[in-house]
Amino acid sequence: MELKARYPKIFSKLDQEYDETRYLVIVDENYDDIDSDEFDIFNPEDFNYLVYIQDRIQNILGEEGMRSLIEQIRSLDEVEDFIEGEIDNWGIRSELSEEKLVDKILEIIESMVVV
């Protein structure tokens, strides 16, 4: 199903159409980067996904909306653990697939958008 049809309220607030969820929300598998000297606060043993909320979604929700989104994500039964690195960047432990987690996040955002 086309994204615009699945998330009409989100797309009503965007200035262009997107055909991939990565333009809205990025969920990537977290892994241990042995080539990096940086300390990673999102330990792969604790958080199997990294989530980034794109600026275009942050602009729709605003800071208060982003805080509400964080609380709603944190309270999902499917989210076993959650850490907020920044307002738009999180670590999540979940048994959901990447696609299902993206869907859950976008469904919550869709329910928050006022048209």
Domain residue extents for the chain: 3-31+39-112
User: Would you state the pLDDT for residue 42?
Assistant: 76
Does the predicted model carry a pTM greater than 0.95?
no
Burial group, residue 94, by CB count within 10 angstroms (0-12, 13-18, 19+): buried
Mean local confidence (pLDDT), 48-66: 97
Percentage of residues of the chain with pLDDT beyond 90: 83
pLDDT over 70 at 60, yes or no: yes
CATH classification of 3-31+39-112, choosing from 3.30.930, 3.60.21, 1.10.3470, 3.30.1360?
3.30.1360
- Range list of H helices, 1-115: 3-6, 8-12, 55-74, 98-112
